[in-house]
Structure 1
Amino acid sequence: MELSLLFLPLRPLTSHLVCLAVSVVLFLIVKLQRRGRWRPRECPVDLNGKTAIVTGANTGIGRYIAQDLAQRNARVILACRSLERGGRAEREIRRRTGNNNVHLRILDTSSMESVRKFVEQIKKEEKRLDILVNNAAGSGLKETITSEGLGLSIATNHLGPFLLTNLLLDLMKCSQSARIVNVSSMNHKKGKIDIRHFKGENLPRFQVAAMYNNTKLMNMLFTRELCNRLHHTGVTVNAVHPGVVMTEILRDYNLLLRIIFNLIGIFFFKSSEEGAVSTIYCAVSKEMEGVSGKYIDSDCSVTLPSPTAQDQALAKKLWDISESLTGLDKRTTGESS
């Protein structure tokens, strides 16, 4: 009894040491996971003579994707909403890579008019397009209706990229092996499709992430149906999950939530540079040459998406709705004959 009393003061210390040891182990595990199995710097692929477009390239994952492509000597078009922020990214990427063939073009994916103007400009300037990365997205957006009568989240994260991709397909077919990469998320597994959401009706209340999850599911279904339509064209399309990443995507959430997210993220989330890896893998690696219609996880491995994301009938239905709402002429969809 007296012996046990002697060790009582040590018990809290032992408990703290155990907690510290567990925390260290967890931290090391997370760091190892964040390293991934494929490293862009070890990939020798050179993109000289090729052209790439990266949407949302002024910050976060998009900027690191664009920087990697520029480092590989590609002609890189930064498709950004802000002239000021996009201009800063353009200058920074040029400085870091020594590649002056990096150019800013204005694009707001929430506006179908902006998408059409962007494509019109690109078709005047470019003879081919080898890589299209649909990265731009918003989370926690205030669910307003756009001037074109569309729900803001769906317009920004799905309908804009849908229209952009289809209008650029003719240029991509001029390349021998063009690649489309749609940046989705594992959150697509929580998503649902409700037709009323497209025009801002019956929106989920008090669920700030719900519409984001829904649009990430749309990205997956879009990828699936587009893959079916691109057989024998030389153009591939894949969707990726970048991981849980420290980016500015939560800029539209309230301050407290952003503070909590950032504090947790310091220890457990990927940096934007690490989060760009799975997209770069799809865009440039030899392993992904000719591969289409797949879902690539944050560790650059092919994985199965949710059952809903594999629903071919739903993918076709979503395509038809998207085609109607964007005013996409079927003659410009780039479908194979």
Structure 2
Amino acid sequence: MLILMTFGSIAIVVVLSVALAPYIRRYFAGGVCKSAARLDGKTALITGANTGIGKETARDLARRGARVIIACRDLSKGEAAASQIRAETGSEQVLVRRLDLADNRSIKQFAEDFLKEENRLHILINNAGVMMCPYSHTVDGFEMQFGVNHLGHFLLTHLLLDLLKQSAPARIINVSSLGHNFGRIKFDDLQSERSYEGGLAYCQSKLANVLFTRELAKRLAGTRVTVNSVHPGTVKSELVRHSSLMALSWRIFSFFIKTPWEGAQTNIFCAVAEELENVSGKHFSDCSPAFVAPQGRNEETAKRLWDVSCTLLGVQWD
């Protein structure tokens, strides 16, 4: 009798799981950008758009008529992605330019060339990033995750900001993460020279993205250039290539992990949604406003990080 009840219970669980699976999957897929906005005549720059959510974002913006510049380190991968997007969207306005966010000289050269070639920039999506990599430094001596995820995009935005202002209304989107909740800005050890833990260093860099967004929004008030940060969700991507444990976990729980198309939806939403035209300094996830950890709302920390970043990069913002 007990065995029959056990088999009966298992059967009920299996039937319920199968019946509910589409709804569970839809929940974890998150929000979808429903805007039908066109981007004809607009120029968008997306870092790291040769793969993952960056590539899906580029595909969507190209389909809407935007001139899309894919900025990435590997030109061959970038050209392969651009070729595919051009074929699928029918747009010939998908270009590839080399940009290495781990090298300030590369960033400056990219910006110099971009300003010569392009006379407008309406959407800047700071999407590229590294996650939980072994301890290493950028060309300029910064801890890799802090250097690429925060300082690289900080410098790029600084160099392109005048063009964004001239092209206004314009939007900046900084791709952060839920991981910012676990981050702390270690002003006494920003480069993790005393101690390094890949996960914590990643969270610090993602918190820096949120704080950068907050401080930049204040400084852009009245310019018609907005800046917001996003958490794309847990997405199947190449980000976990440095962590075998994370890669294994994502394979086991793949049912609950977003596809790159699903993960790109909040990027796209923040880039095109009409209702966000005057929204700035906010954080979004699943195409909706999202919670920001207390350390991500600290004005003093945001200002101090801004000043330290300027000093490290040798730049001065107006």
Matches within 5 A, 1:1-337: 7-21=1-15, 23-24=17-18, 27-39=21-33, 42-205=34-197, 208-254=198-244, 257-265=246-254, 267-297=255-285, 299-328=286-315, 330=316, 333=317, 335=318
- SS of the equivalent of 1:290 reads coil
Residue 278 of structure 1 contacts residue 300 of structure 1 at CA under 8 Å; is this kept in 2?
A: yes
What value does the CA root-mean-square deviation take over the aligned residues?
1.6
1:54 CA drift (Å): 0.3
SS in 2 for 1:305: coil
Q: Size of the alignment, in residue pairs?
A: 318
Equivalent residue letter for 2:253? I
Q: CA deviation at 1:37?
A: 4.3
Deviation at 1:201, TM superposition (A): 1.1
Aligned CA distance change for structure 1 residues 25 and 295 (closer, same or farther; 3 Å): farther
Match for 1:28: what amino acid? P
Q: Residue type matched to 1:32 in 2? A: R
Q: CA deviation at 1:250?
A: 0.6
Q: Is the 8 A contact 1:110 1:157 kept in 2?
A: no
CA contact (8 A) 1:47 1:69 kept: yes
Identity of paired residues, percent? Answer: 43
Q: Structure 1 residue 212: deviation in Å? A: 1.0
Aligned-partner SS, 2:239? coil
Please give the alpha-carbon distance, in whole angstroms, between the structure 1 residues aligned to 2:303 and 2:23: 41
CA contact (8 A) 1:131 1:180 kept: yes
Deviations 1:100-152 (A, max 9, x none): 11110011111111111110110000111000000001111111123312111
CA contact (8 A) 2:250 2:257 kept: no
Closer, same or farther in 2 for the Cα pair 1:198/1:115, shift >3 Å? farther
Tell me, in whole angstroms, the C-alpha distance in 2 between the residues paired with 1:218 and 1:21: 45
How far off its partner does 1:287 sit?
1.6
Give yes or no for contact 2:29–2:258 (8 Å, CA) kept in 1: no
- TM-score with structure 1 setting the length: 0.90
**Following TM superposition, by how much is the alpha carbon of 1:14 offset from its aligned partner in structure 2, in angstroms?**
2.1
State the Cα distance separating 1:29 from its structure 2 match: 3.6
Q: Secondary structure at 2:69's aligned position in 1?
A: strand
Scaled by the length of structure 2, what TM-score is found?
0.95
Change (3 A) 1:114 1:25: farther
**Unaligned regions of 5+ residues in structure 1, if any?**
1-6
Would the alpha carbon gap of residues 214 and 25 (structure 1) be closer, same or farther in structure 2, given more than 3 Å must change?
farther
Matched-pair contact (CA < 8 Å) for 2:176–2:209 = yes
Counterpart residue identity of residue 227, structure 2: V
Deviation at 1:26, TM superposition (A): 5.9
Following superposition, the deviation at residue 89 of structure 1 comes to 0.7
Structure number with bigger Rg: 1
Distance 1:301 1:159 in 2: 27
The one-letter code of the counterpart of 2:141 is: G
Change (3 A) 1:257 1:240: closer
**Distance between the aligned counterparts of 2:193 and 2:31, measured in 1?**
43
Structure 2 unmatched ranges of 5 or more = none
Change over 3 Å in CA distance of 1:25–1:52 after alignment to 2: same
SS in 1 for 2:136: coil
Q: 8 Å contact 1:79–1:104 — kept in the other structure?
A: yes
The alpha carbon displacement at 1:18 in A equals 3.8
Assess if the C-alpha contact under 8 Å between 2:176 and 2:231 holds in 1: yes
Deviation at 1:199, TM superposition (A): 3.1
* Cα distance, 1:88–1:16 mapped onto 2, change above 3 Å: same
How far off its partner does 1:305 sit? 0.2
